[in-house]
């Protein structure tokens, strides 16, 4: 379970989300789901997900590597094999995993390999790490559908890594909800393709169109232009 963190985590277990006010490192409750998303620089990616209705909490960190207790400097140096990821915990009664997958695929370019925009290195790779078998199958099905849509639009093959059993290592405190903190440097490396994710086997979208209208991927760095507050449901 991703909620069981390695000892020596850089973030205090009682730390609360700057925007949502919820604990960022507690294990998910029975009615909640948990996933790790890699979409390039984790600053912008985290903001995209904490604004989504039904998300309980988010945190940024590292996953998919070999070193215990990695640091930002070590990960950025390319010596640990980790990707920058966002831990997302959501309420399954309010939002379906397919909604989260829609935001994941649409908010970045999953065809770029070990980079996202100007950020280069394996730490910026596209990735989905999830343990729940049903959620894993949904992730794979969404990838297959999105690959077809990208190909039809002239894009290359998806390079996203999808796996289970990867541990989450919380990033240093100053990275948590970075874009919501005073004095932060507005930055997001994501390069959305502009291709929308359609229906796929197992999808059960719950969020209305009004929510998705808050994300305009045709605007460069859309995430940075949006408010920090969660998007309200109508």
Tell me the CATH number at 126: 3.30.1060.10
Residue 217 placed within a domain? no
For residue 27, CA distances in Å to 22, 51, 130, 228 come to: 12, 20, 14, 24
Query: E-strand spans in 99-208?
Result: 115-116, 119-120, 126-129, 161-163, 169-170
What is the per-residue pLDDT for 10?
60
pLDDT tens digits, 50-78: 999 999 999 999 999 988 889 999 999 98
**Residue tagged 């002239």 (tokens):** 154
User: In a 3-state reduction of DSSP, which class is residue 85?
Assistant: strand
Domain that holds residue 157: 32-211
**C-alpha–C-alpha distance, residues 171 and 42, integer Å:** 10
Residue 224 placed within a domain? no
Q: Looking at the chain, list the stretches that DSSP marks H as alpha helix, in order from N- to C-terminal side.
A: 42-50, 72-76, 97-106, 133-152, 209-212, 222-225
DSSP string, 34-77: EEEEEESSHHHHHHHHHTSTTEEEEEEEEESSSSSS--HHHHHT
Residue 188 placed within a domain? yes
- Active site includes 188? no
Catalytic site residue from 41, 107, 188, 222? 41
How many structural domains compose the chain?
Answer: 1
Q: Which two tokens stand for residue 111?
A: 């065809």
Residue 233 placed within a domain? no
Residue 21 placed within a domain? no
Residue 187 in this model has a pLDDT that exceeds 90: yes
Indicate the pairing of strand 83-91 with strand 32-39: antiparallel
Triad 26, 61, 1: Cα angle to 5°: 45
Residue 27 placed within a domain? no
User: In a 3-state reduction of DSSP, which class is residue 89?
Assistant: strand
Residue 100 and residue 51 in contact, taking contact as beta carbons nearer than 8 Å: no
Confidence of residue 8 (pLDDT cuts 50, 70, 90): very low
Cβ-based neighbour number of residue 29 at 10 Å:
12
Instruction: Evaluate if pTM is beyond 0.85.
Output: yes
The average pLDDT across 145-161 equals: 98
Across 67-76, 141-150, 214-223, the highest mean pLDDT is recorded for 141-150
Residue 92 and residue 32 in contact, taking contact as beta carbons nearer than 8 Å: yes
Residue 47 placed within a domain? yes
Residue 174 placed within a domain? yes
């Amino acid at each position: 379970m991703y909620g069981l963190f390695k000892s020596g985590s850089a973030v205090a277990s009682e730390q609360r989300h700057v925007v949502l006010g919820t604990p960022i490192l507690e294990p998910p409750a029975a009615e909640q789901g948990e996933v790790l998303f890699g979409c390039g620089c984790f600053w912008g990616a985290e903001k995209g997900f904490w604004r989504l209705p039904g998300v309980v909490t988010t945190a940024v960190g590292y996953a998919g590597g070999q070193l215990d207790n990695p640091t930002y400097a070590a990960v950025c140096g390319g010596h640990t094999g980790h990707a920058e990821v966002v831990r997302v915990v959501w309420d399954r009664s309010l939002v379906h995993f397919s909604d989260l997958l829609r935001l994941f695929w649409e908010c970045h370019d999953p065809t770029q390999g070990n980079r996202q925009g100007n950020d280069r290195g394996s730490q910026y790779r596209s990735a989905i790490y999830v343990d729940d078998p049903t959620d894993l199958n949904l992730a794979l099905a969404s990838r297959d559908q999105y690959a077809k849509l990208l190909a039809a639009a002239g894009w290359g093959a998806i390079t996203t890594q999808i796996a289970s059993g990867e541990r989450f290592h919380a990033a240093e405190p100053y990275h948590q909800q970075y874009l919501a903190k005073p004095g932060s440097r507005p930055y997001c490396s994501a390069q959305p393709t502009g291709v929308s994710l359609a229906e796929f086997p197992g999808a059960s979208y719950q969020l209305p169109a009004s929510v998705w209208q808050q994300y305009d991927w045709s605007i460069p760095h859309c995430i940075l232009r949006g408010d920090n507050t969660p998007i309200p449901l109508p």
